[in-house]
Amino acid sequence: MDISGNTIFIPGATSGIGLALARELATRGNTVIVGGRRAEILDEIAAANPGIGTQRIDTTDPASITEAARTVLEAHPDLNVLITMAGIMRSEDWTTPSGFLDTAEATVTTNLLGPIRLIAAFIEHLRSMPDATIMTVSSGLAFAPLRVTPTYNATKAAIHMLSESLRLQLAGSSVSVLELEPPSVRTGLMPGQETSDFAMPLEDFVAEVVDLIATQPDATEIQVENVKFLRYGEARGDYDQVVATLNSRDPHGR
C-alpha cells in the first residue's frame, strides 16, 4: 500500500485508533472518509477536521453497509482503500450463559460479520481499480489470549486467518490484503485502557504504523514492535510465558 494518493474509507473510525489513523493518513496526501453510527459525532469530526469526509454507517446492519457503500462510491469513484476498523471488546464470564452469550453474539456480529459484510460491499469496486488495498484489523490477541475476553480473542484470530485466506484468493489481482495487528493501545476500547502503563500511547502507535506503511509498501502485516511479544510467542517457543505475562500485567489490554 502506498502511503499517499489514496482514497480511503474507514468505517468505525470516530474515535481511538481509527480516528487517529484517519487524521494521520489525511496529512499524508490521502482523501479520507470516516464512518460511524452517530451523526452528531460525525458532524463534530467534520467540523474539527475540514479535510476529512464522513459517512453514517452501522456495521452491525447489512442494509446500512449496503447503503453506505453506494453513497461513498457515488461520491468517491476513485476509492481504492478499505480499512475495516470497527470493533468492540467486552469482558465475559463463560461460567454461566448470562455472563457471555449476549456479549459474544454482539462481538461476533461487529468484529467478524462486520468486516465480512464490508468487504462484500466493496470487493467488486476494489477489483476494478488498478491498485487497491483491503486493510483488516486483527490484534495481538489473535495470537495470545487475554483471559477476560474470549470472544474478542476468537474474532481477531478469525480476522487473521480471513486475511491470510483472502490474500491467497486475490493473489494476482489488483487488490492487496494488509493486516494491521495492534497491541494494547491507550484508547477507550476497554475500561482503564486509556491510562494503562502497559498500553502503547496512541500517538506513538499511529506514528509507527504510518512509518511502516511508508517504508514497507509490500508488507502483508503491519506489526509495531510492541505487538511482536504476542505475535511470535509460539515461534520463539515462549508462548506459555507470553500468556502468563499478558494475563498478569494487562487485565483490560488489547
Active site residues: 152
Amino acid at 7: T
Nearest to 29 by CA among 5, 59, 62, 64: 5
Angle at 1 between CA 76 and CA 137, to 5 degrees: 85
Alpha-helical segments (H) within the chain: 16-27, 39-48, 62-75, 101-108, 114-128, 150-169, 202-215, 228-231, 233-236, 239-249
CA distance 225 to 115: 25
CA distance 102 to 117: 21
All 3 cell numbers of residue 133? 488495498
Residues 6+ apart with CB under 8 A from 238: none
Q: What is the DSSP letter of 109?
A: I
